[in-house]
Structures are given as C-alpha cells and as structure tokens.
Structure 1
Amino acid sequence: MSKEYDKITASHYAAYRPSLHATILKVLFDSSERFELGLDVGCGTGYSSIALANYCTNVVGVDPSKEMLDKSFQNPIITYQLIDSNTLNFDSEIFDIITFAGSLYYAKSQAILDETVRVANKNCRIIIYDFEIFLEPIFVQLGLKSDLPQSIDYDHQANFSGLNEQFITMDNELKKSVLLDIKIIDLAHLLLSIKDNYSRLADAFGSTNLYEKTTNQLQSVFKSEMTTLKAMTYLTSYQVSK
C-alpha cells in the first residue's frame, strides 16, 4: 500500500469524511446481521472501521500510515494496528468479514489476496467498496482551473479481478450514484484532505491559515452554510470458499 497522506492532510481527513461507508454497507446487510470478528484493511483514521463495527462484535483496523492511525477514532470494540507491505500479521482463519474501503487500488496484488484468504474463516465475506466525489466543479466555481493533470489512473472499481481467485467467489457487484449534502466547513476539510487539492488551494490562497481561507472562499461562492455534491459508490463482494 502507498503512504498517501502526510500529517496536514491526515488531520483534515480525520476532521471530516463523508458518511458514505455506512450507507454503502447497508446495501448488503441489515441491522440485525452480526459477525464475530471483522478486519478493515486500509482503515485510515477509522471511518470505515466504525461502519464495519455496526455489524461486528469486534473489529481490527489496519493501515500502513502511522499519520492516519495517530488520528484514528477510538471505539471500545475497535483496535488499530500498523501494517507493513502486504503482510497481515494475524493467525490463519480468524476473521468472519473483511473490508477494503477505498484501499484495494493501492494494495491490489496476489500477495494481499493470498493473505486475505489465509486470515479469513471458511465462508468469510470480503467486501471491497469505494466512492468517488466529484469535486472538480467546486474548483471551477472557485475560479481555480488548474494545469495539473487530473488523476486518471486511480480505479474506484478495483477488485480482485485478474488475480488467482480460486478461493473466492464474487456474489455481488454494485454501482450507484448518490447526492451528498455537506456543510461548507466540512467541504473545506474534504478538499484539503487530498494532497493535489491542498496544493492547488495553497497556490491560490497561500498556505497560512488555509482552512479558514478556503472556508471563507466557499462561503462567498455558495452564500450558504450547505451545498450538495454528486458522488458515485462502488461495491464488490466475495464469499470465501476453502
């Protein structure tokens, strides 16, 4: 996995993430469904781990970024662990559900699939999901057209296709557009949690007190404390069979 966030962007990431993790998981599970032990791979600051905890007795969140884990949200049934590369430092066959929330694109390899299958119980569910929030219209409204190339390599629909899937079977694949109501003060955090966007805003407004400057600019443009963003959600689920 790639170390994607430094301390500044991690602090904005921790301050606000869209409440889409729980919304996506609700598509698959009802509130009464329970798993004994869940694993959230690439948990970041823990938003996805908290969403998974709605369906588990205990959850372990793992991430390769110390900066992210230092900002993680504490919960009595969630423990966090720093991981290195593609190794999951757990005994074999202990997890009943495993999620990758916006992390598989960075982690995808035969090694991580093999490790995931190894630590998964028989009949474990593996859920891969992500969401794409369309932020470029916000920059246009701010008058910040950029010469920076837009990222076209990142795949929000990344799953285990193309790997040796002999021990897993895909049982669901979903794609759905949604609207996200968001406070302006949270939109500023969302923009600044992404390194390229942070740089664009810092170049435009200066890096000093950038959150306050960004918030003020957004409030000036929208003349409201709220706005609505368009987003796309993606989900692939697998059943382990071994």
Structure 2
Amino acid sequence: MGIDPSADMLASASSTHGVSFVQGTGDNLPLTDSSVDIVTFAGSLSYAKSDKLVDEILRVGNEDVTVVAYDFEVLLNDVLTNLGITPPPSTSSYNHAENFSEFEVLTEIAVHQSRLVIPVTSEQLAHVLFSSSKRFELLVERFGSDNTFDRVVKALGNDRHQEISVDTYYSTYRPN
C-alpha cells in the first residue's frame, strides 16, 4: 500500500496489481496494528521524520518489519560551471542522506552512500538541465531565449557523450 498526503499525487499514481494507494500522513497511518512487513521512504524522510512517525511505524509494523529510507541527488553544478554559469548557493535544508540513526527504538542494519555515473548524450543532459525552473532561468539568461535548448546542446558538444553523477543514499532498520 502506498500512502501520500497529497490527493493530487495519489490521482497521478499508476495502478498496479496488488498495490493500492490511500491518503494519509506519517503521524496517523490509515493501517491496522502489526499489519506491515516493510515501510519505505522514497525521497521523503527529510520532510516526514518525527517521533510520532517512528511511533506509527512501530504500531503498524509486524515484529520483523524492515524500514528503508532511500533518496538520490543529481549533481549538476560542474555541468553548469562548464557552461559558464555560476550555480547559486543552495538555500535548502533538505537532506538526501536523512535516516533514523538517532532513534534508539530502531536497530540500524545498513547505511550506504555511493555515486553513480550515468552516460548520456548531450541532448539527454540538456533535458535534465531544463527539468528545473531555476536552472531553466539560468540557461535562458546565459544562452538567450531563442532556441535555448539547441544552444545548450551545441555548447555541450552536440553528439558528444556526457556523464551525469548521482549520489545515492539508503538506510535500513528493524525495531529493537
């Protein structure tokens, strides 16, 4: 079962055989006691972590419940710098590596961080660069508003192969 506080996100969820989606929050899970085998957090723990959330995980989880938090961060500052753009300093307090390490009621099984390097074409890299409104504004400022995408692809080297670095994080826990 997938749980999300946003009705809009739930409306966008793809139906999958055997998986249902309901609206709810981590501090009041719409599940019965001891009914869950695994609880996962995909890029959301930085927003949701609290004592009440951990209490709810322990309430709904069976005695062998596994708790997994995972996230990733696409690293594009070097690409922007190579394009002549100075990336603005981050003002976000979001933590991709957020985990449950400070909760004594959970036993840490594993905490892992690694970097993936994904080969892409210049056009694919440009699509990733343009996926953020902040980066879009920086690219338009640097390359102009006419044919910005094509100009960025050309500056990246047209058919040249590129690489995108992605930091990945996961942590797993079990109740004590």
**Fraction of identical pairs, as percent:** 29
Structure 1 stretches lacking a partner, 5+ long:
1-59
- 3-state secondary structure, aligned to 2:33: coil
| CA distance in structure 2 between the partners assigned to 1:78 and 1:188 by the alignment | 35
Q: Counterparts of 1:71-150 in structure 2 under 5 Å? A: 71-84=12-25, 86-146=27-87, 148-150=88-90
Secondary structure in 2 matching 1:106: helix
Partner of 1:230: 165
Q: With structure 2 as the length reference, what TM-score do the two structures score?
A: 0.79
Structure-1 residue corresponding to 2:11: 70
| Cα displacement string for residues 111-162 of structure 1 (whole angstroms, at most 9, x for unaligned residues) | 111112211111111111112221112222333324x332462222111133
Say which is worse superposed, 76-85 or 120-129, in terms of deviation: 76-85
The answer as to 2:102 corresponding to 1:162 is yes
User: Is residue 129–residue 233 contact of structure 1 (8 Å, CA) maintained in 2?
Assistant: yes
Change (3 A) 1:197 1:83: farther
Cα distance in 2, alignment partners of residues 226 and 81 from structure 1: 42
Instruction: State the Cα deviation string for residues 52-104 of structure 1 (Å, max 9, x = none).
Output: xxxxxxxx222233443333333223322232463211111111111112110
Greater relative contact order (Cα 8 A, min sep 6): structure 1 or 2?
2
Q: What is the CA RMSD across the aligned residues, in angstroms?
A: 2.9
Contact 1:219 1:225 in 2 (8 A): no
How many pairs are equivalent?
175
Bigger Cα Rg: 2
Q: Which moved more, 1:61-70 or 1:90-99?
A: 61-70
TM superposition outliers: structure 1 runs of 4+ over 6 Å:
205-208
